[in-house]
Amino acid sequence: MTFVLNPLDTPILVDAMTWREFKAVEQLLDRPGMRLSFLDGILEIQRMPGEQHERIKERVGALLELYLLQIGIDYTPTGSMTLESESGLVKREADKSYKLGPNRPQPDLVIEIVITSGGINKLEAYRRLGISEVWFWENNRLELYHLRSNDGEMVYDRVSASELLPELDTDIFLACVNLENHVEAIRTFQRSLQNLKGSG
DSSP bridge pairs for 136: 112, 143
Residue 200's pLDDT band (cuts 50, 70, 90): very low
User: When comparing pLDDT for 116 and 73, which is higher?
Assistant: 73
Residue 1's pLDDT band (cuts 50, 70, 90): very low
User: Measured on CA atoms in the order 42, 48, 52, 55, is the torsion positive or negative?
Assistant: positive
Helices assigned H by DSSP within the chain: 19-28, 51-71, 122-129, 170-177, 182-192
Q: Answer whether 0.85 is exceeded by the pTM.
A: yes
Distance CA 58, CA 160 (A): 23
Which H, E and C letters describe 73-93, residue by residue?
CCEEECCCCEEEECCCCEEEE
Q: 26: phi > 0 → left, psi -120 to 50 → alpha, else beta; which?
A: alpha
Name the 3-class secondary structure at 122: helix
Mean pLDDT of 75-101: 96
pLDDT reported for residue 15: 94
pLDDT reported for residue 199: 44
Distance CA 196, CA 70 (A): 7
- Picking from 170, 176, 138, the residue whose alpha carbon sits closest to that of residue 53 is 138
Query: Residue type at 189?
Result: F
The yes-or-no verdict on residue 8 having pLDDT over 90 is no
pLDDT reported for residue 3: 33
pLDDT reported for residue 157: 97
Domain ranges in the chain are 50-192
Average pLDDT, the chain: 91
Give, in words, the CATH class of 50-192: alpha beta
Q: CA angle, corner 193, sides to 158 and 139, nearest 5?
A: 40
The yes-or-no verdict on residue 194 having pLDDT over 80 is yes
pLDDT reported for residue 145: 98
| Contacts with 172 (C-beta within 8 Å, 6 or more apart), sequence order | 189, 192
Distance CA 51, CA 90 (A): 27
Report the percentage of the chain scoring pLDDT > 90: 80
